[in-house]
Amino acid sequence: MNIRSLSLTCVMAAAVAGAFTPAHAADKPRVVILATGGTIAGAGASVANSATYQAAKVPVDKLIAGVPELKNLADVRGDQVFQIASESFTNEHLVTLGKRVAALARQTDVDGIVITHGTDTLEETAFFLNLVLKTDKPVVVVGSIRPGTAMSADGMLNLYNAVAVASSKDAAGKGVLVTMNDEIHTGRDVSKTVNIKTEAFKSPWGPLGMIVEGKTYWFRA
């Protein structure tokens, strides 16, 4: 076989190999998780501690590593913006977070944004971001009622659901969203109505939709 034939054979082999490369490897949505602390990053003294714990203990890389199934939904990367309990949020924190989200939304290599947040002021942050952000890309705020160390902790599933929503093309153009307890709410309307229970967040007109096993289902626009 001469050099020209060998080169042609190599090119054809590369083309065939490329044809069998899974399409989703290149086509996965690219989602950035901005971590701010809160209960979803909290830890208790034992698995029995669901209401008494220290918030904002777990960094974003460990949150992501704790839900390996995220890679099935999107190419995910994390950024630790703050590491505080949400009652410590100030106007300066809100402005810093808003600028960071706005900058990411302008990047062509970002398809969706998830913000992990403590639940005490989650609704205020979601409302603020809904007012100031000008983007059609999905922006999803998520938290948890129980720390990750507790029995029946809700943070892992909430985070998984948030990434599923941020990865969904159907979530585009709906403003800032909040995902808690398998439900999708609008950041404009949602509020924390009860403490401790995982169904703490409610909207006066009901949820926009729900998430089941990584798939979004929308009830209304």
What pLDDT shows up at residue 20? Answer: 44
Phi/psi for 50 (5° steps) reads -105, -15
Residue 75, amino acid: D
What pLDDT shows up at residue 2? Answer: 52
* Catalytic annotation, residues: 39
Which token pair is 207?
A: 């949820």
Torsion of Cα atoms, 75 then 42 then 36 then 109, to 10°: 0
Q: Along the 221 residues of the chain, how does pLDDT read in single tens digits?
A: 554 554 444 444 444 444 444 444 468 999 999 999 999 999 999 999 999 999 999 999 999 999 999 999 999 999 999 999 999 999 999 999 999 999 999 999 999 999 999 999 999 999 999 999 999 999 999 999 999 999 999 999 999 999 999 999 999 999 999 999 999 999 999 999 998 899 999 999 999 999 999 999 999 87
Distance CA 63, CA 140 (A): 16
Phi-psi region of 79 (alpha: psi -120 to 50; beta: other; left: phi over 0): beta
- Predicted TM-score (pTM) of the model is 0.88
What pLDDT shows up at residue 92? Answer: 98
What pLDDT shows up at residue 79? Answer: 98
Which token pair is 69?
A: 């199934």
